[in-house]
Structures are given as structure tokens and as C-alpha cells.
Amino acid sequence: MGLPHHPLETLRPLTETELAEWEEAYAAVEAYLQALRLRNRLLVAELVRAILWRASARGAKEPGVPARVLAMEETLSEIANWTQDVLDEPLENRRLAARGRLALLLADMPGKWQGVFLTPAPWPPAFKEAMCKSYLAAGPNFAELTMIPQPLELNVIGEGAAQWWETMDRRPIVRKMFALFLLALIGATVWFIFFE
């Protein structure tokens, strides 16, 4: 498959906690590759193995970082570098942007080109051309729109309430009379409940 071979003699013994962390990392990377619609299990397993190997080498240098974080960072970095090489165009922050993922799907990488995913150059010319066309087509086409503010349309109750509040704001005497009426109503209610 074109990926480097790592002999089993170089593996070191792992604790149960480390095994659980790396199993979680394996599941995360595998799920990410399957989200990119890679369906060939052998290819996915080989890619995950190579990515985890690089993450493990990084983990020896960065012992405080969880295995899952290292593995996903390696996955994103590897895919971004490969996409950048295929497209001959730099990606923002060396990460695979939404346009890059969309280009992979529009070029039908999962259907026709799974075998060339994350492999070094040279790539088939038809694949490279499809990726470049898809990447350009994935960009947004913005159109300028003008929005004219429209008045709020209220129903009958809403319009009546709006007019009533407007009247209360314009005429302070009406507001005071309403407040006194409301207090009198509350007082009368309390009187009849407790004193009768």
C-alpha cells in the first residue's frame, strides 16, 4: 500500500491504561476516515496503523498529551498535507478545510480513488484533475443581497397592546390612573379574601 513497514520488535509493552487510550485513539481515527467515506477496511486499517505509529512517536516526545488528541492531530495534519500536495495550493493553518473535504467527495475519492488516498506522488492525472476541479467548484459564490426593513405585522391583540403602551408612554396621567386602579383592585381582592 505504499506505507512504511514497522517491525513488531520495536513495540514496547503497554499498560492497561495505555492500551485503552490507544484503542480509543484507533477508534477515533478510524471513525474520521470512515466519515470521509473510505469503506475498504484493509486500507482504513493500514492508514490508521501508520497514523497511530506517528502519533506514538510524537507521544514519546510529548508525554502529557492524550493519545486520542495526538492521533487526531496527526490524522488532520497528514490529510491536510496530502490534500495540499495534490492540489498544489496551500491550505489555511495546514488543516483540511471544508472545501478540501468537499473536494474529496466531489472528486468521488471514496468511489473511484480510494487506493490513492494518502499515497505519495505521482497520482493518476484524472484524479489530480478531478480534485483540482472539485476544489475550485467547492468555493462559495456570494451574491450581494439588499434587505429592506419591513414593519412588524402584529395581530389584533398585539396591535391593541402596542397602542395601549404607546398611550401610557405619552400620557403620564393615564399611567398613574391605571396604577392606582390596579392597586385598588389588588387591595379589594385581598380585603375580600382575608377579611370576609
pLDDT over threshold 80, residue 137? no
Q: What share of the chain in percent tops pLDDT 70?
A: 82
Helix (H, G, I), strand (E, B) or coil at 80: helix
Q: Which three cell numbers mark 35? A: 466519515
pLDDT over threshold 70, residue 83? yes
**pLDDT value, residue 96:** 58
Q: Is the pTM of this model over 0.75?
A: no
Task: Give residue-wise pLDDT tens across range 67-76.
Answer: 888 888 888 8
Task: Give residue-wise pLDDT tens across range 145-183.
Answer: 777 888 777 677 777 877 877 887 788 888 888 889 999
Cα→Cα distances 117→13, 138, 169, 181, 196, Å: 31, 19, 69, 78, 87
